[in-house]
Amino acid sequence: MDELDRAIINRLQGGFPLCARPFAAAAAELGTDEATLIARVRALLEDGTLTRFGPLFDAERLGGAFTLCAMRVPDQDFERVAAQVNAHPEVAHNYQRDHAFNMWFVLATQRREDIARVMDAIELETGLVVYDFPREAEYFIELRLAA
Amino acid sequence: MSKASLDERLVRATQAGLPLVTEPYAALAATLGVSEAQVIERFEAMLADRRVRRIGAVPNHYALGYTANGMSVWDVDDAEVDALGPRVGALPFVSHCYRRPRRLPEWPYNLFAMVHARSREAVEAKLAEIRALLGQALRAHDVLYSTRILKKTGLRLG
């Protein structure tokens, strides 16, 4: 990664222009040219430095229902419970964390009422309580990772 | 012709990213059978109502060395959390800063802030900054590090 790659990552995490030739406009800001910028973005995607280049959507604002759930899973049951939870297609991601609340997952459904249905099903299957933590307010500005 | 709105079709067409060509919006427009001006106008509208957070590069945390990601959780006075939350969210190392309900007695925390850094020591230093910012409004806090990704399918949009 050289200085131009760093500049692309540091200065293009938002504000990509909405105009006919956005790479040309952004390249001018970065002191390079359109073809170079396109090639660099492609290379950063290919080597995994960038996961995507384009619009970052707010899934919740696009519609559907979401919540963050957590469970306190006894160590000896952890793998079984992880398999039971992950089997639900509504479980978008699931992380193990080092805490008494050791399993954290996001539920994403088309309809609000489906959230409770999936939580009930997981409680029934696992025999454990599912705690839900819906977002009540968003204080998130924007993450800008420095390269 | 699909009954989906142009916005829904744009979301689907760009979930994997913008076309890496000199005129990406014109390329999208050609795929969707609309004009370039319509594509630009719809993205402007989705940015305005925040269905699109931003347009640009989405870095991979791990590739940039941000391997320590702590979910910090804070029990903050209800009367002050809405004033202090945006200040925590504005810190450069914080993403996904939300107020969520407590689940008493097991879970006393109402403010969640994801902290990203290159080591756990660096995360701890950043937690000290948040602690100082919250001051007297803070009653208790904790940090939960992820130890394993059990599932990561991403959200299916559109």
- Among A67, A72, A66, smallest CA distance to A103 is for A72
- Indicate the burial class of A31 (C-beta count within 10 angstroms; 0-12, 13-18, 19 or more): exposed
Structure token pair of residue B125: 């230093």
Q: Which backbone phi and psi does B54 adopt, to 5 degrees? A: -170, 165
Grouping H, G, I as helix, E, B as strand and the rest as coil, residue B18 is coil
pLDDT, tens only, B87-123:
999 998 898 899 999 999 999 999 999 998 999 999 9
8 Å CB contact of A138 and B23: no
CB contact under 8 A, A22 and B100: no
Residue predicted with more confidence, B62 or A25: A25
Report chain B's mean pLDDT, rounded to a whole number: 92
B152 strand-pairing partners: A93
Q: In Å, how far is B86's CA from the nearest CA of chain A? A: 5
- Residue B126 near residue B115, CB atoms below 8 Å: yes
- Of B53, B89, B100, nearest to A135 by CB-CB distance is B100
Residues of chain A contacting B14 with CB distance shorter than 8 Å:
54-55
pLDDT band at A141 (very low <50, low <70, confident <90, very high): low
Question: Can you tell me the distance from the alpha carbon of A117 to that of A121, in angstroms, rounded to the nearest whole number?
Answer: 6
Domain regions of chain B by residue span: 6-48, 68-145
Whether B147 and A96 lie within 8 Å, measured CB to CB: yes
Contact A141 B90 (CB under 8 A): yes
Q: Is A82 helix (H, G, I), strand (E, B) or coil?
A: helix
CATH for B68-145, options being 3.40.50.2300, 3.40.50.1000, 3.30.70.100, 3.30.70.920: 3.30.70.920
Show the low-confidence residues of chain B (pLDDT under 70). 1-3, 153-158
Residue B71: CB partners within 8 Å, gap ≥ 6? A97, A104, B112, B113, B114, B115, B143, B144, B145, B146
Confidence band for A59, pLDDT divided at 50, 70 and 90: confident
Specify the pLDDT at position B60.
86
Q: How far is B36 from chain A (nearest CA, A)?
A: 8
**Residue B59 near residue A51 (C-beta atoms within 8 A):** yes
- For the entire predicted model, the pTM comes to 0.80
> Which residues in chain B touch residue A105, judged by CB atoms under 8 angstroms apart?
150-151
| Min distance A103 CA to chain B CA atoms (Å) | 9
Distance from CA of A69 to the nearest CA of B (A): 11
Domains in chain A: ranges and CATH: 3-46 (no CATH), 65-133 (3.30.70.3460)
Residues A8-20 have a mean pLDDT of: 94
- Is the distance from CB of B44 to CB of B10 less than 8 angstroms? no
